[in-house]
Amino acid sequence: MTTIKANGIALGIESFGDKDAPLVLLAGGTTMLSWPDALCERLAAGGRRVVRYDLRDSGESTTTNPEAPTYTLRDLAADAAALADALGGKPAHLAGIGVGGMVAQVAALDHPAAFSALTLVGTRAVAPGPPDDDLPDHDQATMGQLFTRPMPDWTDREAVAEFAATGAETLGNDPVPAHTIAARIWDRTPSTAPPIQMANQLGMVFSKLNCEPRWRERLPEINIPTLVVHGRNDPFFPVGNAKAIAREIPRARLLVLDAAASAIPEAALDEITEAMLTLG
């Protein structure tokens, strides 16, 4: 892992493969580890230079005041475009997962020349918060279980990993990889209190103000090959959100994973790899 200068900041990156076909993986609101190692390795074996990276204020990327981030959603989108350019100037396949998928949509709209293809995993076409009336909201029973749990001691690595594992199980995901990944994320989190960083990054950067103008109405402008991947059993962003994205982006392909919830399961890695490599 190293850092690269893009859009005036340092972004923590990790590269897989050495081919001249960049595929940029935009993190899902935590660190680059929201993209499974095994998926990165499979994509690289398929002839891509895979680069996953940390969003601002996470991992090894530039950290500002976690209580008052000064950047917006569109700045995060510009980071993705600048990183693609820094990798050699060729248009890159951009992939975003979770809230990173929201950033990826805006990046593809604001910087169309920077990207050759787009993959969106487990995301939706509006900012966090109440969705549009025609989009399914979070499953409220699951959210109640998820957000009423007592917070862990954020200085205790094992407590944080166990908290992530139980949360993953509540969402219908495998708790074992969630525990492992959370521990690795803890190891890579800056010394500033991680819950403050994440709450402010997701709460303020993705606020209504910072998500203006809305991007859902612009989705028909995307004219690069697009893949929309979603778990059929996702209670956080129910699958109807993916169906809406796939309808509104011209010629987008929708890949629904029947046995998946909100995380990428190991059993689906080959199917996702093939679909992404076929896209470009």
How far apart CA 12 and CA 115 sit, in angstroms, is 20
In this prediction, residue 46 has a pLDDT band, given cuts at 50, 70 and 90, of very high
Average pLDDT over residues 44-49: 96
In this prediction, residue 236 has a pLDDT band, given cuts at 50, 70 and 90, of very high
How far apart CA 229 and CA 238 sit, in angstroms, is 12
Tokens of 15: 């590269």
Go through the domains of the chain in sequence order and give each one's CATH number. 2-136+192-279 (3.40.50.1820)
In this prediction, residue 163 has a pLDDT band, given cuts at 50, 70 and 90, of very high
Contact 78, 57 (CB under 8 A): no
Judge whether residue 204 has pLDDT over 70. Answer: no
Average pLDDT over residues 51-61: 88
How far apart CA 24 and CA 82 sit, in angstroms, is 11
**What's the confidence (pLDDT) of residue 130?**
78
In this prediction, residue 188 has a pLDDT band, given cuts at 50, 70 and 90, of confident
Contact 68, 219 (CB under 8 A): no
**What's the confidence (pLDDT) of residue 193?**
47
Contact 275, 229 (CB under 8 A): yes
Contact 104, 127 (CB under 8 A): no
142 CB-side CA count, 13 A:
19
Judge whether residue 153 has pLDDT over 90. Answer: no
Contact 75, 100 (CB under 8 A): no
Judge whether residue 5 has pLDDT over 70. Answer: yes
In this prediction, residue 60 has a pLDDT band, given cuts at 50, 70 and 90, of confident
3-class secondary-structure state, position 231: strand
For residue 107, give the nearest of 197, 116, 263 by alpha carbon: 116
Residue 223: how many CB atoms within 10 A of its CB?
11
**Residue 176, phi-psi category: left (phi > 0), alpha (psi -120 to 50), beta (remainder):** alpha
**What's the confidence (pLDDT) of residue 91?**
96
* Listed range (66-75, 150-159, 165-174, 202-211) with the worst mean pLDDT: 202-211
Beta-sheet strand order (sheet of 9-16) = 2-6, 9-16, 49-53, 22-26, 92-97, 115-121, 226-231, 253-257
Instruction: Give percent above pLDDT 70 in the chain.
Output: 90
**What's the confidence (pLDDT) of residue 67?**
67
| Highest-scoring range by mean pLDDT, 150-164, 182-196, 205-219, 226-240 | 226-240
Scanning the chain, the segments in alpha helix (DSSP H) are: 37-45, 73-86, 99-110, 140-147, 157-170, 175-188, 194-200, 240-248, 269-279
Spell out the residues 6+ positions from residue 84 whose beta carbon is closer than 8 angstroms to its own. Answer: 22, 24, 90, 91, 92, 94, 114, 115
How far apart CA 75 and CA 95 sit, in angstroms, is 17
For residue 118, give the nearest of 279, 259, 271 by alpha carbon: 279
Contact 69, 205 (CB under 8 A): yes
Instruction: Give percent above pLDDT 90 in the chain.
Output: 71
**What's the confidence (pLDDT) of residue 200?**
53
Q: Which of the pair, 70 or 79, is modelled with greater confidence? A: 79
Residue-wise pLDDT for 99-121, tens only, equals: 899 999 999 999 999 999 999 99
pLDDT mean across residues, the chain: 90
**What's the confidence (pLDDT) of residue 245?**
98
